[in-house]
Amino acid sequence: MSRTPENFVDGIRSCCPEDILTFVEKHPPRQRAPHIRDFFMLAHGLDPEWHRKPVVITNACRQFLSNRRNATSGKTGKPVKEVTVISDYSAVHLYLNKLQKAKKLPSNTLLPPIPDSTDVFSEKECNILGYLTLKHAIEAASMDAALNDIADQIEKHRSAILTRCKSIVAEGYEKFQQTQEMILNSDLNAMRLTHDNLDPTHKAYRSGQRISFFSKSHPRGFINTIAYLAEEQNGLYTRHAFPGSHHAYSWSTYEIRQHLGITDEFAVAAMCIIIDELGINVSDLANAKVKKTKEGQFVTIREDGGVTITTLKPRANKLIERHAPKADPDGAETLDANTVLCMLLQMRERHAQALKSNYLFVLDGSSKTRAGEEEVYRILDTRRKLAFKSIIDSLPEWVAKAEPSMPKIRVSRGLLKWIESGGDTLETTIYLGNSLLTALRNYIPPSIQEFVYRKRLRDHQNIQLLITEELIAPTSNDKGQNYECAKTQLIEAVKYLRNISQKPETNNPEQKLLFLCSPEGIELIVSYAKYGTKHELISTCKKIITKIEDEGSRKMIKLLADTTPKPINFDVLEVNVNE
């Protein structure tokens, strides 16, 4: 029985010859059949004998791509995204290939290749914050103007989102801090003496019946609800879990949860601040653990007040360590990654103990707590996306129209760092936590790379020309902006070089040791740590072993675990090295 509806074959019957119809009935398209039908109709409209003419088929493919890019979505009314266009054309391309292999179409037909969607500046699918596309950048008056426009667009949208996120975090933490005072001012001790949570000292005006400690009619109903949930329910609200629990809805469960721990909106706002500053991947941060795991993930507060967060990057199969330094106490108070991480560690504590969860972002749910299912009580993708949408909807309309997302915050900041540093790929790579090749290939568009490299080359040429002229200014008629710009750049460069050359060298008591981690190297340090003779070198080997155990990748830790110390003649090794 054919998997393709009969009306599909009927729809293309007037557009295709019998041999193609027979093939379609035996091998119906599995995906995007309506678009394949549209292609057949389009090709037939160009030429009824399209199936015999390679040029017509090629033109039909190009026309199909153009039509899809100019189409609008029936659901949203917005232009069809480039990723959807590519998927539609991929299905058509695949089916035409099948027809070619079955010798239903000319073998010399050239099918236009499937477009590449990896460029973050593709016309329909832009992976950075803002409206700017490659077309706008190219139309700029100069390369400087193009790069400035891109940076300004990113900064404008980034600032709007982060300002709102910082406001949410500040308000949420302020409410959380009020909880302890609410507990002290509540009727918690009186509630513990009852079985039904009804206050014997307060009665309804008409019926004369006792009212609930949590009722809106009770003078301390709200703080009683907060206090009872915090102390008697481990900060977790569950429907029908205790007498009078239904009164929570009259106070708003969202408002209540803000006083008890991390909410969805607070978690997402905090994530945006951390991602922007530290460059952690969204999913890696969502899965962050607090206590050290066997994979090596953990969050720790250092003696200097800084916070170190180590997350697992699954695809790269390695651990990424980020450090959020403590802000200068003399500086203005600001919500940075360090402050937000400290808030999260404090706010998660009550829920983490109740749920026995090791996740940094542990959240309350509305269902009955299920033992051993800590995966349920964390910032899952659906909850994260809904909360982020709620934050964006509260901002001006122009922010939402640019279709921002949490991954775009990270990519945009990485690109912004790259532009502001004049094309320093290493700085961007460290921020993103990727290799140099991955950062250049996936996050920095080739066209923008060309802009920056051309600008650097032009600046260098201007300075060379200025040096060649021995700083002799041109005549007043020829003096222009380029000359003044080059002169300023040269003066600044000379000042910088003089400054660093005159700066006294600081004696650094710490010595940095670089160790090449290989099976042979690990075997050597393990063996020397056990059988070596020089105490200083033994201590160094033990420090390397501890470093691998605490911060090494899973591969390094496995190599260390599989290594057996061997008695080696270390004196011979030292002689060979000296020679």
Number of helical H runs and strand E runs in the chain: 27, 5
Structure confidence at residue 496 (pLDDT):
66
Bridge partners (DSSP) of residue 211 are 199
Residue type (1 letter), 462: N
Round to whole Å and give the CA distance between 169 and 87: 39
CB 112, CB 65: distance < 8 Å = yes
Structure confidence at residue 96 (pLDDT):
93
Structure confidence at residue 572 (pLDDT):
44
- Of the given ranges (187-196, 259-268, 282-291, 544-553), which has the lowest mean pLDDT? 544-553
Task: Calculate the dihedral angle through the C-alpha atoms of 241, 247, 250, 256, rounding to the nearest 10 degrees.
Answer: -50
Contacts with 234 (C-beta within 8 Å, 6 or more apart), sequence order: 350, 351, 353, 354
Q: What angle do CA 29, 32, 33 make, to 5 degrees?
A: 50
Q: Is the pLDDT of residue 574 over 70?
A: no
Phi, psi of 265 (to 5 degrees): -65, -40
Phi, psi of 183 (to 5 degrees): -60, -45
pTM for the whole thing?
0.64
Round to whole Å and give the CA distance between 330 and 334: 12
In 3D space, the residue among 270, 269, 396 whose CA is nearest the CA of residue 341 turns out to be 270
Structure confidence at residue 124 (pLDDT):
37
Bridge partners (DSSP) of residue 198 are 212
Q: Is the pLDDT of residue 396 over 70?
A: yes
Give the DSSP letter string of 224-235. HHHHHHHHHSTT
Q: Which of 377-381, 411-415, 506-510 has the highest mean pLDDT?
A: 411-415
Percent of the chain with pLDDT over 70: 83
Q: What is the mean pLDDT of residues 438-465?
A: 77
Average model confidence (pLDDT) across the chain? 82
Residue type (1 letter), 66: S
Round to whole Å and give the CA distance between 314 and 442: 17
Q: Binning pLDDT at 50, 70 and 90, where does residue 454 land?
A: confident
Q: Binning pLDDT at 50, 70 and 90, where does residue 571 land?
A: low
Give the helix/strand (H/E) hosting 460: helix 446-468
Round to whole Å and give the CA distance between 262 and 216: 25
Structure confidence at residue 367 (pLDDT):
55
In 3D space, the residue among 217, 235, 227 whose CA is nearest the CA of residue 192 turns out to be 227
Q: Which pair of tokens denotes residue 15?
A: 């557009």
Q: Which residue blocks in 102-142 are alpha helix, DSSP H?
A: 134-138
Q: Binning pLDDT at 50, 70 and 90, where does residue 94 land?
A: very high
Bridge partners (DSSP) of residue 321 are 310
Report, in angstroms and rounded to the nearest whole number, the Rg of the chain calculated over CA atoms.
Answer: 33
Q: Binning pLDDT at 50, 70 and 90, where does residue 579 land?
A: very low
Q: Which pair of tokens denotes residue 400?
A: 């939402």
Bridge partners (DSSP) of residue 298 are 310
Round to whole Å and give the CA distance between 229 and 7: 60
* pLDDT, tens digit (0-9, with 9 covering 90-100), for 347-362: 999 999 988 889 999 9
- Kind of pairing between the strands at 298-301 and 210-212: unpaired
How far separated are the first and last CA of the chain, in Å rounded? Answer: 80
Q: What angle do CA 305, 306, 309 make, to 5 degrees?
A: 135
Round to whole Å and give the CA distance between 391 and 395: 7
Q: Is the pLDDT of residue 122 over 50?
A: no
What 3 state SS string does 518-564 have? CHHHHHHHHHHHHHCCCHHHHHHHHHHHHHHHHHCCHHHHHHHHHCC
Bridge partners (DSSP) of residue 199 are 211
Half-sphere exposure of 395 (CA within 13 A, CB side): 24
Bridge partners (DSSP) of residue 374 are none
**Higher pLDDT residue, 95 or 130?**
95
Contacts with 183 (C-beta within 8 Å, 6 or more apart), sequence order: 223, 226, 227, 230, 231
Task: Calculate the dihedral angle through the C-alpha atoms of 26, 32, 35, 37, rounding to the nearest 10 degrees.
Answer: 20
What angle, rounded to 10 degrees, do the helices at 554-562 and 519-531 form? 50
CB 326, CB 294: distance < 8 Å = no
Structure confidence at residue 125 (pLDDT):
43
Percent of the chain with pLDDT over 90: 38
Round to whole Å and give the CA distance between 215 and 252: 12
| Cα torsion angle, 359, 363, 369, 370, sign | negative
CB 297, CB 289: distance < 8 Å = yes
